[in-house]
């Protein structure tokens, strides 16, 4: 059987004390099946964002180890920072990458949440696809008022009680939001016009909030230094709303205003399938199998050897 791979981007409420940052990051190093892609500590946000890919079981073990470090060192009553947060370990999203379905990632989030509460005593809210209440799909609903407000409301308002744990937050570590979500692709399309209204109108036609594609978020922006405008998007489900389909729609709408796409930008990481699907469309490749890609077959073989 091919290796199962997930992505996980845990966020910790510590972006200033280097020793604490190092101790947390070290939990993800030198572990079989855990691959640390990136970590960024932001002093203003006072927040640490870690990007991991790997096999579900060892990723979860490492997360628990890191959570215990955070629990030891971070007191939410003393924490200040520019980014909304409710806990020392603020958010833990699991994303399916390979050989694992969204349903399995949701089950994984739920099981991990139980174990997490048992081993750390930190209560858990579930969000996105793992939400147990529909309104909790949205992180901002769970985090409303942040730690300072939630620590009281969790006790008094049943709508704000954690999904796992008693009706109160942990006295120092607050609570943790655990969930499952698809991989988010940041995709920007630049237009050869300075007229920001055109970029905004086009953003309107493609984004879900104004009736476009169901899994696209987007805004129109001016890139003033370059004298151009941009449709800046997040594709929150690249399988349902693929890059080529979104781009062709923008090209079509741009024509109406006598405007052209001058370039696009994929910002940050992208799963290979998001690119392969668009390549297969434009190249009209019938029955293309990602296993035909040499590097992907090699990844499977390496995964088998590493087990």
Our CB check for a copy of itself shows the closer of 24 and 97 to be: 97
Our CB check for a copy of itself shows the closer of 131 and 250 to be: 250
Give the 3-state DSSP-derived string for 59-87, with helices as H, strands as E and coil as C.
HHHHHHHHHHHHHHHCCCCCCCCCCCCCE
Our CB check for a copy of itself shows the closer of 1 and 294 to be: 294
Residues linked to residue 179 through DSSP beta bridges, in sequence order: 93, 127
Phi and psi at 125, nearest 5°, equal -110, 140
Residues linked to residue 125 through DSSP beta bridges, in sequence order: 177
3-class DSSP assignment, residue 191: strand
CB of 252 to a copy of itself, least distance (A): 14
CB of 30 to a copy of itself, least distance (A): 9
CB of 268 to a copy of itself, least distance (A): 7
Binding site for a copy of itself (CB under 8 A): 5, 7, 32, 35-37, 53, 97-98, 183, 243-244, 247, 261-266, 268-272, 275-276, 278-279, 282-288, 292-299, 301-303, 305-306
Catalytic residue among 45, 73, 79, 83: 83
**39 labelled catalytic:** no
Residue of 293, 181, 296, 283 whose CA lies nearest to 235: 181
Convert 88-97 to b/e letters by CB count within 10 Å (16 or more is b): bbbbbbbbbb
Residue of 160, 114, 107 whose CA lies nearest to 130: 107
281, 238 Cβ separation under 8 angstroms: no
CB of 127 to a copy of itself, least distance (A): 22
Total Cβ atoms within 10 A of residue 298? 10
CB of 71 to a copy of itself, least distance (A): 28
Our CB check for a copy of itself shows the closer of 121 and 290 to be: 290
Report the alpha-carbon angle 30-35-37, nearest 5: 120
Our CB check for a copy of itself shows the closer of 14 and 277 to be: 277
Residues taking part in catalysis: 83
């Amino acid at each position: 059987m091919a290796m199962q791979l997930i992505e996980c981007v845990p966020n910790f409420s510590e972006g200033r004390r280097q020793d604490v940052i190092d101790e947390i990051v070290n939990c993800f190093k030198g572990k079989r099946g855990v691959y640390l892609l990136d970590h960024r500590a932001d002093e203003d946000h006072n927040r640490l964002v870690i990007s991991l890919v790997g096999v579900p079981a060892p990723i979860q073990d490492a997360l628990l180890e890191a959570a215990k470090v955070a629990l030891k060192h971070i007191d939410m009553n003393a924490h200040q920072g520019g980014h909304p947060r409710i806990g020392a370990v603020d958010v833990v999203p699991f994303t399916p990458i390979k050989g694992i379905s969204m349903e399995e990632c949701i089950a994984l989030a739920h099981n991990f949440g139980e174990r997490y509460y048992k081993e750390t005593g930190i209560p858990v809210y579930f969000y996105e696809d793992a939400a147990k209440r529909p309104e909790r799909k949205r992180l901002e609903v769970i985090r409303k008022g942040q730690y300072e407000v939630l620590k009281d409301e969790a006790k008094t308002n049943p709508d704000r009680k954690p999904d796992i744990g008693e009706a109160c937050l942990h006295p120092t570590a607050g609570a943790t939001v655990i969930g499952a979500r698809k991989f988010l692709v940041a995709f920007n399309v630049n237009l050869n016009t300075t007229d920001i209204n055109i970029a905004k109108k086009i953003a309107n036609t493609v984004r879900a909030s104004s009736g476009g594609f169901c899994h696209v978020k987007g805004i129109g922006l001016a890139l003033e230094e370059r004298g151009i405008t941009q449709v800046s998007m997040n594709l929150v489900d690249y399988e349902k709303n693929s890059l080529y389909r979104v781009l062709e729609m923008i090209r079509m709408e741009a024509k109406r205003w006598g405007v052209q796409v001058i370039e696009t930008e994929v910002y940050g990481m992208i799963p290979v399938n998001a690119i392969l699907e668009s390549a297969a469309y434009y190249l009209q490749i019938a029955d293309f199998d990602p296993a035909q890609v040499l590097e992907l077959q090699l990844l499977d073989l390496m995964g088998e050897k590493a087990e």
